[in-house]
Amino acid sequence: MKSVTIQVFGRVQGVGFRYLTKMVADKLNIKGTVANLNDGSVYVEAEGSEDNLNEFINAVKLSPSPSGHVEKTVINDVALQNFTDFRVTN
């Protein structure tokens, strides 16, 4: 198991980005959270198997929303949080 945080910049709010990110997470058995931040970016905490997490990260970088556009991501490895599901917050 591996755990990361991802901050996503670009056209990622108001385009269904969080909900489509959750759909990708559920498909790949990724646990964590996704939330809008006040600066217009989206913040993701995600954990799962290394292969599934890498696939999830790639999907986020490409924007799971067809109306979205990711300009930049900042990814950091973090300690496992032991999430039980994937949730959209705020």
**18 carries an active-site annotation:** yes
**36 carries an active-site annotation:** yes
Determine the length of the chain: 90
Residue 33 tokens read as 């959270």
Active-site residue, selected from the candidate residues 36, 58, 82, 90:
36
Burial 25-38 (b: 16+ CB within 10 A, else e): beebebbbbbebee
Question: Which residues are catalytic, by number?
Answer: 18, 36
